[in-house]
A and B are shown apart, each in its own frame.
Chain A
Amino acid sequence: MTRPENIIVLKDLYKHFGEVKALNGINLNVAQGKVIVIIGPSGSGKSTMLRCINHLEMPTSGEVWIDGQQLGKNEKELNEIRTEVGMVFQLFNLFPHLTVLENVMIAQKVVRGRSNSEAREIAMSQLARVGIPEKADVHPTNLSGGQQQRVAIARALAMNPKIMLFDEPTSALDPEMIKEVLDVMLNLAKEGMTMVCVTHEMGFARSAADEIIFMDEGVIVEHTTPDDLYNNPKEERTKLFLSQILQH
């Protein structure tokens, strides 16, 4: 079997929440190893699109393909595909009843069926990768926001995903903690991880992103390189949005 050219393919994706039309026909191809940043005003459908990629949100219509496999309604297949797609949330969503180490181990054991010692070894190496191996035995509530988000990244990475999705990973952080999370994300990007990030961190977008997408009202308005988007945005909506977020 030849590997598909694009590891993520979204075809004609629609998502309606009752009357609210969150996505109105999204088409997107993401090639292996690319870093995509998605920006757009709140309510533009960025997060919904991201959550449709791993079917945390079931699209109303349209197709999602991950690594040549179409996502359907079959729960078992969905669970298998989800192990290949790591996700990092705005509010971290660490498991508060488990220690940091257990947070990173649990899905490895339950889903991947890894032994305790193997899961521990992988968890420790992932915690080292995000720079907090010394916090392994602490409960998440005793960590700062930045540390919690790095644990969340380690938890996702421990499953050896092919793709990482980031849903506003720094929006809930105090300013001084944003850098430590972005540094981890930058390293991941350098290592060649395929990443789709909803974020308004323009510095990150410029230094790490291969492509940037501007979304508004459930459609992709512009899809280009970061430099191109900043230097000569084509659409009025893009210009207006950029002027608002780059003003300060």
Chain B
Amino acid sequence: MEPSAPRLDIKDVDRRRSLKDQPWWFYAIILIFIWAAYIFYARENYNDAFNFIKIGIGITIKTSLISYAFALILGLIAGLGRISKNIFFNNLARLYVELIRGIPMLVLIFFIALVGVPMLVDGVNALGVWLTEIGLGFLGTPLNAFGNKSLTMNTRAIVALSVTYGAFLAEIFRAGIQSIERGQMEAARSLGMSYGQAMRHIILPQAVRNVLPALGNDFVAMVKDSSLVSILAVRDITQVSRLYAGSTFRFREAYITVSVMYLSITVALSLLVQVMERRLSKND
């Protein structure tokens, strides 16, 4: 110790540290929200834009929620396929995941909505014709009547997002299942449980718990990627703000408004995921 060294005031150090540890980025986001709330309220142009664009919020939320629910189901099935010992199921799941991951999401959305869905409808129609021919008209007729027009762009957008995110969630489920020690499966099987019973009662409950934060993060990502369905003319907030900007030439108002809307949704969801993560780690 050098007695001549200048003494630092402990309080000073503490304050500096606490200043350093403050989440300044978060305060900045809150400031952005306050500023946005003020201009939406006080400025006529922004107020106008906000009122116009907010009609898309319902579609954005509905599209995200429904797509995510289907993606969870698809992802779980494909995730189980990825670890399955069944060669057919395993390769099918792998093919699905690799196809989706290898194609840009924007192209996928075009493809599924404008090529995949019509192809599926053709297939269903062909099945209807065949059923009618073999004398099962009561089954065939409704399938025959099923046309491309009965599937709105909103539905197709949901199909596209579900199929795309199903592949991402499959990898999360796979990683979650593989994170569970082998001994768990062995113990379950040694007690006479079938593979399916062991999965359902022993492996999946632990695996899902482990990947809950990752699933939450992917939901946030999906909310953002739902903006891509605006290219199918689905009237989500992105599409509505494009319409607003196009008709009024108020680009600044339109895109500031829609950005703040996405940001408020994703920040709120991210906070929820963080709370969930903290709760899970506390229970460990």
Binding site for B on A (CB under 8 A): 54, 56, 75-76, 79-80, 82-83, 85-87, 89, 91, 93-97, 106-107, 110-111, 141, 152, 155-156, 159
Contacts and interface: CB of A to CB of B under 8 A. Distances in A.
Given A95-B202, A97-B206, A110-B201, A80 B187 contact: no
B58 interface: no
A56 B190 contact: yes
Nearest to B284: A141
B146 to A, nearest CB: 39
Nearest to A94: B187
B191 A107 contact: yes
Contact of A111 (B181, B183, B193): B193
A106 to B, nearest CB: 6
B188 A89 contact: no
Interface in B183-239: 183-184, 186-195, 197, 201-202, 205-206, 209
A111 B191 CA distance: 8
Contacts of B209: 97
Given A82-B192, A95-B188, A156-B191, 12 more contacts: A82-B190, A82-B191, A83-B191, A86-B191, A93-B181, A93-B187, A95-B202, A95-B206, A97-B205, A97-B206, A107-B193, A152-B187
Contacts of A107: 188, 191-193
Instruction: Give the most central of B188, B192, B193, B209: most A CB within 10 Å.
Output: B192
A52 B255 CA distance: 66
9 contacts: A75-B194, A75-B195, A82-B191, A87-B187, A93-B184, A97-B205, A152-B187, A155-B191, A159-B191
Contact of B183 (A76, A93, A106): A93
Given A89-B186, A93-B186, A95-B187, A110 B193 contact: yes
Contacts of B205: 97
Given A95-B202, A106-B201, A110-B197, A79 B186 contact: no
A83 B205 CA distance: 23
Contacts of A95: 184, 187-188, 202, 206
What secondary structure prevails in chain B residues at the interface with A?
helix
Contact of B190 (A54, A80, A94, A110): A54
Contacts of A97: 205-206, 209
A87 B190 contact: yes
Contacts of A86: 190-191
A79 B192 contact: yes
A86 to B, nearest CB: 7
A110 B100 CA distance: 37
A159 B192 contact: yes
A54 B183 CA distance: 15
Nearest to B204: A97
Interface string B148-179: 00000000000000000000000000000000
A165 to B, nearest CB: 8
The 10 closest A-B pairs by CB, nearest first: A83-B192, A107-B191, A93-B187, A93-B183, A87-B190, A111-B192, A82-B192, A79-B192, A97-B206, A97-B205
A110 B206 CA distance: 17
A82 B197 contact: no
Nearest to B191: A107
Contacts of A110: 193, 197, 201
Nearest to B200: A110
A85 B190 contact: yes
A54 B191 CA distance: 10
A54 B187 CA distance: 11
A105 B7 CA distance: 65
B194 A79 contact: yes
- Chain A CB within 10 A, most for which of B181, B187, B205: B187
Nearest to A103: B187
A31 B163 CA distance: 57
B37 to A, nearest CB: 43
A10 B184 CA distance: 26
B183 to A, nearest CB: 4
A80 B192 contact: yes
A79 B187 contact: no
Nearest to B205: A97
B201 to A, nearest CB: 6
A86 B188 CA distance: 11
A89 B193 CA distance: 16
A46 to B, nearest CB: 16
Contacts of A96: 206
Nearest to B192: A83
Contact of A91 (B183, B195, B206): B183
B201 A56 contact: no
A111 B192 CA distance: 6
B207 to A, nearest CB: 10
Contacts of A152: 187
